[in-house]
């Protein structure tokens, strides 16, 4: 077996434990929304993005708002554009087929583990793959175990599991905070989301707030860079 693959797998075992615990909450909530375990597994295989899957589960009410779910997940996963860009040195000289095959298992946790190792010892893409496989196995194990337990938990709010969605995004937002430069975009995103939630049905406020805040951030960045020319 490739040495880098094994090293990446082993290095990610500590974070895999927390990923599994985090995934068990998603599994419980999925069971409460009456998803079959096969449907949850298919979601894991095709999406494999914790925050996006929490959004999908939260919006999983018949009739399914397919377009809204798709757009919301797209906005949430836009950060992978930056993650992909940061991995460019690691994929230098590899084929497009190689990139597609390895990038699907890239998540926040194994990306962080891999980049730390890359700057320390110049690992290759198989380290990223091994790390991703480790996290993926932990995620599937946690979500499916949680799904099994979820059928026995009639009232998840008693255990505060219904708060998981809010907690996940609060933690995600805090981790992305860069200081006062984020105040204006975040404020605009919040105001747009609140207004959209009052005016439009469904979960469109997620998309409108996300896109609005991103556009403001882009305009401010452009103004800043042009002002320094």
pLDDT at 22 over 70: yes
pLDDT cut 90: percent of the chain above it: 33
Q: Please report the pLDDT score of residue 176 as a whole number.
A: 60
Could you give the CA distance from residue 218 to residue 229 in angstroms, rounded to a whole number?
A: 17
Q: What is the mean pLDDT of residues 4-10?
A: 95
State mean pLDDT over 208-214.
81
Does residue 153 carry a pLDDT above 70? no
pLDDT at 163 over 70: no
Residue with token string 């075992």: 13
Q: Which residue has the tokens 């406020």?
A: 205
Q: What is the pLDDT of residues 91-111, one digit of tens each?
A: 999 999 999 989 999 988 888
Taking each helix axis as running N to C, give the angle between helix 3-11 and helix 125-150, from 0 to 180 degrees, rounded to the nearest 10: 40
This prediction's pTM: 0.72
Q: What is the pLDDT of residues 28-80, one digit of tens each?
A: 889 989 999 999 999 999 999 888 898 899 889 888 888 888 888 887 787 78
In this prediction, residue 17 has a pLDDT band, given cuts at 50, 70 and 90, of confident
**Mean pLDDT, residues 142-171 taken together:** 71
What was the pLDDT predicted at 76?
A: 77
Confidence of residue 166 (pLDDT cuts 50, 70, 90): low
Distance, in Å, from the CA atom of 209 to the CA atom of 187, rounded to the nearest integer, reads 10
Residue 3 phi/psi, 5-degree rounding, is -65, -40
Are the beta carbons of 60 and 33 closer than 8 angstroms? yes
Residue 162 pLDDT exceeds 60: no
Tokens of residue 55, six digits: 């959004």
Q: Cis bond leading into 200, ω under 30°?
A: no
* 199 Cβ neighbours under 8 A, 6+ residues apart: none
> Are 159 and 153 contacting, i.e. CB atoms less than 8 angstroms apart?
yes
3-state secondary structure of 77: coil
pLDDT at 91: 93
Per-residue confidence (pLDDT) for residue 86, from 0 to 100: 83
Buried b (16+ CB within 10 A) or exposed e, 68-92: bbebbbebbeeebeebeeebeebbe
pLDDT greater than 60 at residue 209: yes
């Amino acid at each position: 077996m490739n040495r880098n693959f094994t090293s990446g797998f082993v290095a990610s075992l500590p974070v895999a434990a927390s990923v599994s615990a985090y995934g068990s909450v998603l599994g419980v909530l999925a069971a409460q929304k009456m998803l079959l375990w096969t449907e949850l597994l298919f979601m894991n295989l095709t999406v494999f993005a914790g925050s996006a899957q929490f959004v999908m589960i939260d919006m999983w009410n018949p009739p399914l708002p397919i377009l809204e779910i798709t757009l919301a997940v797209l906005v949430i996963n836009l950060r992978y554009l930056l993650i992909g860009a940061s991995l460019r040195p690691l994929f230098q000289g590899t084929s497009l087929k190689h990139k597609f095959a390895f990038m699907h298992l890239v998540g926040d946790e194994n990306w962080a583990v891999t980049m730390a190792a890359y700057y320390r010892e110049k690992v290759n893409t198989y380290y990223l793959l091994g790390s991703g496989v480790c996290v993926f196995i932990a995620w599937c194990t946690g979500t499916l175990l949680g799904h099994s337990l979820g059928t026995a938990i009639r009232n998840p709010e008693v255990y505060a599991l219904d708060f998981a969605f809010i907690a996940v995004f609060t933690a995600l937002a805090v981790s992305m905070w860069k200081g006062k430069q984020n105040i204006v975009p975040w404020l605009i995103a919040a105001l747009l989301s609140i207004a959209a939630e009052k005016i439009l049905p469904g979960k469109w406020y997620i998309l409108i707030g996300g896109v609005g805040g991103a556009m403001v951030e882009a305009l401010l960045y452009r103004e800043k860079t042009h002002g320094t020319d």
